[in-house]
Chain A
Amino acid sequence: MKVLIDHISKVYRDRKGEATEALRDIHFAIEENEFVVVVGPSGCGKTTLLNIIAGLLSPSSGQVIFEASRIDSKPHTSVVFQDFALFPWRTVLKNIVYGLEEQGLIKEEQQKIAQRYIAMVGLQGFENKYPHQLSGGMKQRVAIARALANDPLLLLMDEPFSSLDAQTRILMQYELSRIWEETRKSFLYITHHIQEAVFLGDRVVVLSRRPGRILDIIRIDLPRPRKEHLTTEKRYLEYVDLIWGYIKDQAKEVLEEMK
């Protein structure tokens, strides 16, 4: 399995016909079992890129190509959204089986798969709760389980932890790292948080400010499983510093322009 992001550009046009260039010539590939993180300053078109890969937005030019030995009719991607996007009228279990219902699986099969992912994200005992009864961290666990249950070729995550509080966010990063090691799927993770990018990713794609271009693609050569102590190690901090260098320059340019 391989996903090719093939020279994607996106230009938005508003009603007056004025153009805003969001992405310029984004080109990279996501390999099988690879955790790729896209990091960039705010407003660099990260979410635009994710929506294009998810098939929720059309690019102005370029294309996204999935290559696999077998491609069936179910969705190639699942998305974990920043604001959870859980169906408020469905319980935790019902949210998780949503995609399985759409695939037309029988009830027993749905239950079996759902139970597996409920256990994986640690939601046992919450199956029959409604989303409004859960904390932010719990909601995002449901969203992750729902996305994984659909067994996509590529899991897309759009700043999934940015609406959580700082403590929960760190714990969820550890959890996600563990989940990825357990499932070994291809993940594409979008964030503006540099430490998060280095902690989670096999490779980090650094985007520039608008229009988003690729500044660098950095292979993160840190051992797995990645645990808490990693964040104090020298090599980890060097990677963080390297990426911060890029982002800082971008942010400075924005500030200069505003003067």
Chain B
Amino acid sequence: MNREKFFSGGFQESSIEQPIEKAIVQDKTYFLQMKEHPWLSIGSFIVILLLWEMVSRMEWIPPLFLPSPSEILSEGWIMLKTGLIFKHVFASLSRILWGFSIACISGVIVGILIGFFSIPEAIGNPLIAATFPIPKIAILPLLILWLGIGEPSKVAVIALGVFFPMAINVYTGVKHVDPLLIKAALSLGSNRTRIIKKVILPSILPIVFAGMKLGIGIALLLVVAAEMVAADAGIGFMILTAADLMQTKKLMVGLIILSLLGIFFNWLFQRLEHFFIPWKQ
């Protein structure tokens, strides 16, 4: 109890004893100030790797089910040296690149059209609402039927998967363009098409990048799934055949490549965003 009592010296007989309580103001937002723990992030990662290494080395879990990190690494090194890895990575990457690019370009175009013009909006909105919920991998058999078992069907399924989040993102972005900026452009003499180029496009750039980051995750998911259904190369194919042959180390290498690809694309888009949107600090 930090209650202190004060007495007024000269008037003790007349004044009643009045205790005075003190309260010191505390910063209530203290817990909101998240501290940074850089060493904890790195340290915990290393500890988990070491634990994993130990668990496999001691054969608490059979290496067939869980090979140690060092074994996976050496397997990866062998695959790198023999060049086997490149064949699969390039196969997957080219599918992603094609599907992703087609989806981004068409997604931006469709998003702007349905966001800015009333007739495309009336036609496009129900179509998107009806087709968007279908899991894209469920369309793959149909795409194979239409486009054959080769590359086009895999590229198409990736493009479909990335297209929807992109188009929907851009549509929302166009709807939220600051109307004041459009008014300013109109008063300075822009017409409708100039407004799309000079106001809408730069306004939606941040949301296009958000769509790309969302889309690349979907692209990785779909490329693996498509390659597991029908392919003779690719990371998904590599993982599936490794599992069939109980080559757990090879399977794990595939997973690590997928993780690295995800990290790489995220980094790449971050850099591109900085480059293309210099007005955002």
Interface residues of A (CB under 8 A from B): 54-56, 74-75, 77-79, 81, 83, 85-90, 98-99, 102-103, 130-132, 146, 150
List of A residues within 8 angstroms of B181 by Cβ: 85, 87
Neighbour of B188 across the interface among A88, A130, A150, CB < 8 A: A150
Is the C-beta of B186 less than 8 angstroms from some C-beta in chain A? yes
Of all chain B residues, the one with the shortest Cβ separation from A85 is B184
Tell me whether B279 and A56 are in contact (CB under 8 A).
no
B-side contacts of A98, CB under 8 Å: 185, 188, 198
Q: A102 to B180, Cβ gap below 8 A? A: no
A88 and B279 contact, CB distance less than 8 A: yes
Interchain Cβ contacts under 8 Å between A and B, 24 examples: A54-B187, A55-B187, A56-B183, A74-B189, A75-B188, A78-B187, A79-B184, A81-B184, A83-B180, A85-B178, A85-B181, A86-B184, A87-B181, A87-B198, A89-B203, A89-B277, A89-B279, A90-B279, A98-B185, A98-B198, A99-B189, A103-B189, A130-B278, A131-B279
A132-B281 in contact (CB<8A): yes
Taking Cβ atoms with an 8 Å cutoff, the residues of B that contact A are 178, 180-181, 183-190, 194, 198-199, 202-203, 205, 277-279, 281
Chain A residues within 8 Å of B281, by CB: 132
Q: How far is the CB of B65 from chain A (nearest CB, A)?
A: 53
Are A79 and B183 closer than 8 Å at their CB atoms? yes
A102–B194 CB distance below 8 A: yes
Q: Which residues of A contact B187 (CB under 8 A)?
A: 54-56, 75, 77-79
Chain A residue contacts of B205, Cβ below 8 A: 89
Q: Which residues of B contact A81 (CB under 8 A)?
A: 180, 183-184
Least CB distance from B45 to A in Å reads: 37
**Known: A85-B180, A130-B279. Contact between A56 and B186, CB under 8 A?**
yes
**Dominant SS among interface residues on chain A:** loop
B278 to A, closest residue via Cβ? A130
Q: Which residues of A contact B189 (CB under 8 A)?
A: 74-75, 99, 102-103, 150
**Which residues of the other chain, A, contact B198 by a CB distance below 8 angstroms?**
87, 98
Known contacts being A98-B188, A102-B188, is A85 close to B183, with CB within 8 Å? Answer: yes
A99 touches B278 (CB 8 A): no
Closest chain-B Cβ to A80's Cβ sits at a distance in Å of 10
Top 7 closest A-B pairs, CB basis? A99-B188, A102-B189, A85-B184, A89-B202, A79-B187, A130-B279, A85-B180
A132, B198: Cα distance in complex, Å? 19
A116 to B239 CA separation, bound complex (whole angstroms): 66
A50 vs B281: C-alpha distance in the bound complex, in angstroms?
Answer: 34
